[in-house]
Amino acid sequence: MTAPGWSPGRKGALALALAAVVAAVVLVVVVVRAQVTAPDPWSAGRIDPPTHSSAEAQRETTPGEGAAEDGPAPLGPSRPITLSIPAIGVRTPVNPIGLDRDGTLAVPQPGPHLDQAAWFENSPTPGQPGPAIIEGHVDSTEGPSVFFELGDVHPGDRIVVRRADGRALTFRVDAVRDFLKSEFPTRLVYGGKDLSQPTLRLITCSDYDPSIRHHVGNEVVFARLVHATNAS
């Protein structure tokens, strides 16, 4: 006999609800575990390196950093195709991305591009004057993502961007910074003291807070163009 108010349909619904709860707990555990093993974000290097002579640059450079390098002249527009960071073993396609409905920078959504880098198409293309913005997730419910090890990037490391016109651009990391999202310095990241120079910003989330199940920080890598190959 079936108990009053109980039916196979209701039993199945409760089983599905229980399964959903278990799945949600597993997803939270995956994110927490992934964030625990990610390299800790840090702050090092100079965001605005000197752009004058090498001798003056050497005198003004922080101990342990290399002197400023004379980079190539700014290039025309051409969208980025791939990005690699040899120091942390990253090589990823780069997809264009725009603004979200609320006017903020969109992020890669679940699907084939979730774990790939994205270039903010309202920013300069890499090699043009000003900061080109490329973002990527640090992790997701599926585990580590494309910029999971961005916390291990150091000043002096190289970032290589290949563009649609066949050029390969090498950027040198000048600084790495960790900011609270509530205090994100938009003007510093999207601008800078000298918008005439080709620069690059890599952005990902940082500082996962398990109590609210969200990242409360952003890690930003600041780099500048030091070499460009001819178009193929």
- The enclosing domain of 156 has a CATH number of 2.40.260.10
Asked whether residue 7 is domain-assigned, the answer is: no
Give the Cβ contact number of residue 14 at 10 Å: 11
- What is the pTM for the complete model shown? 0.77
18 assigned to some structural domain: no
Backbone angles phi, psi at 31, to 5 degrees: -65, -45
Task: Spell out where the chain has E strands.
Answer: 44-45, 80-85, 90-97, 117-120, 130-135, 139-140, 143-144, 158-163, 168-180, 198-209, 214-228
Domain assignment of residue 193, yes or no:
yes
Contact in structure between 41 and 54 (CB atoms under 8 Å): no
- 171 beta partners: 159, 225
* Residue 74, domain extent: 38-228
Phi-psi region of 72 (alpha: psi -120 to 50; beta: other; left: phi over 0): beta
Instruction: Look at residue 1 and tell me if it is in a domain.
Output: no
For the beta carbon of residue 21, count every other beta carbon within 10 angstroms.
10
Residue 70 buriedness (CB in 10 A; 0-12 / 13-18 / 19+)? exposed
Residue 13 resides in a domain: no
3-state secondary structure of 231: coil
pLDDT truncated to tens, each residue of the chain (232 aa)?
323 333 334 444 333 333 333 333 333 333 444 444 578 877 889 887 755 443 333 333 333 333 345 689 999 999 999 999 999 999 999 999 999 998 889 999 999 999 999 999 999 999 999 999 999 999 988 899 999 999 999 999 999 999 999 999 999 999 999 999 999 999 999 987 779 999 999 999 999 889 988 899 999 999 999 999 987 7
Q: Total structural domains in the chain?
A: 1
In a domain, 117, yes or no: yes
According to the model, what pLDDT value does residue 107 have? 93
